[in-house]
Amino acid sequence: MGAQVGTDLARAARLLREGGVVAVPTETVYGLAANAFDPDAALQVFAIKERPSFDPLIVHVGERSEVARVARDLPPGAEALMDAFWPGPLTLVLPRSAEVPDVVTSGLDTVGVRMPAHPLLRELLGQLDFPLAAPSANPFGYVSPTTAQHVADQLGDRVPYILDGGPCVVGVESTILGHESGRWRLYRPGGIGMEDVTRVLGKEPEVQAQSPLQLPAPGMLASHYAPRKPVVLGDLDELHAAHAGERTATIAFQRERSPGPCRVLSPSGDLAEAARNLFAALRELDASDVAVILAEPVPEEGLGRAINDRLRRAAAQRPA
């Protein structure tokens, strides 16, 4: 029996109130949601994803007033960031409240919080009296899903219900910012460009170096968002020459590059379109009969930083 997919908000809300897990749409990628205040429900998310317990979950709220239940206080600039980008693809790492269980934050004293913009998810949150802890709805480390069918293909019967909100309009995960030692820091590039964040804060955030053990924010493992086929990132002409004679597929930014199957992220050079198409391209080529996927970086600006970050992680060597 396949996964149950539909638009029944009442069913999704009932499952979540009963301590279950539901796949939900966001504007970034599909999430695997559970009651953020229920440690047993959150543990199901880790089990379904086969996600390490040291990788914390993002908590999704429906209203700004709910942040007070999740976070103890707000650092300087947090209100301005919320005013500018919420609802939307921005996660803020804040001092957590006592109501948030350790399993959600991986024992850290901080919690990632965002207000999603997807109308169906916002309607669902409005029917609940708790926020939702929701990482991407995919097996841990694999390509994030941007349609309900992607979730069904990857997780199948492990999820009792998939709420179908159509294709994700952003297509890459949220930007994650945290505040340490009096400064805002970028933990993960994503759907909000750093130029826009800098304009709101008046100063560009520092880029946070990755911790090898406990991570201050979700999605910071070096090898992440990775297909099962090897991915090599670089200049496509050089990569095609180096892999001559192999069965290769290509992910290109603006124009088709042969030999082999090629997926162009945006013929017009639109970084937002490229972001929407990235994970679907990775997933499609990963399911093909090629031996290796070759990819080129996009311009390192705006959403391009998030796209390149995901490509670098997809290409990272997995631990033995």
**Region label for 67, one of left (φ > 0), alpha (ψ between -120 and 50) or beta (otherwise):** alpha
pLDDT of 172-194, one tens digit each? 889 999 999 899 999 989 999 99
Tell me which range, 142-146, 150-154, 223-227, 278-282, is most confidently predicted by mean pLDDT: 150-154
Report how far residue 31's alpha carbon sits from residue 88's, in angstroms, rounded to the nearest whole number: 14
Average pLDDT over residues 148-161: 93
Tokens representing 244 are 């001559």
DSSP three-state, residue 273: helix
Answer whether 7's CB lies under 8 Å from 257's CB: no
pTM of the model: 0.77
| pLDDT value at residue 214 | 38
C-alpha separations of 84 from 81, 237, 240, 283 in Å: 5, 41, 43, 33
Measured CA to CA, the distance from residue 301 to residue 261 in angstroms comes to: 27
Kindly give the pairing relationship between strand 58-60 and strand 110-114. parallel
- Count of CA atoms in the C-beta half-sphere (13 A) of 95: 6
Q: What is the pLDDT of residues 208-262, one digit of tens each?
A: 755 333 345 555 555 555 688 999 999 999 999 999 999 999 999 999 987 889 9
Quote the pLDDT of residue 220: 53
Domain residue ranges of the chain, discontinuous segments joined by +: 5-207, 231-315
Tell me whether domains 5-207 and 231-315 share a fold. Answer: no
Is residue 207 within 8 Å of 185, Cβ to Cβ? yes
| Cβ-Cβ contacts under 8 Å for 14 (sequence gap 6 or more) | none
Residue 178 contacts residue 92 (beta carbons within 8 Å): yes
**For residue 49, what is the enclosing H or E element?**
helix 39-49
- pLDDT value at position 106? 77
The two structure tokens encoding residue 266: 């945006």
How is residue 277 annotated by DSSP? H
Residues 6+ apart with CB under 8 A from 293: 227, 229, 230, 231, 232, 248, 249, 250, 251, 282, 285, 286
Rounded Cα distance between 226 and 218, Å, is 15
Least confident of 34-48, 63-77, 78-92, 236-250: 34-48
What pLDDT does 51 receive? Answer: 60
CATH superfamily of the 231-315 domain? Threonylcarbamoyl-AMP synthase, C-terminal domain (3.40.50.11030)
- Min mean pLDDT across 94-103, 163-172, 214-223, 283-292 is at 214-223
Say if residues 142 and 154 touch (Cβ distance below 8 Å): yes
pLDDT at 142 > cutoff 90: no
* Residue partners of 179: CB distance under 8 A and separation at least 6: 75, 76, 77, 78, 93, 94, 185
User: Quick one: tokens of 163?
Assistant: 């709420």
CA distance 122 to 165: 11
List phi, psi (to 5°) of 33.
-105, 145
Rounded Cα gap, residues 258 and 152, in angstroms: 31
pLDDT at 280 over 50: yes
Is CATH 3.90.870.10 correct for 5-207? yes
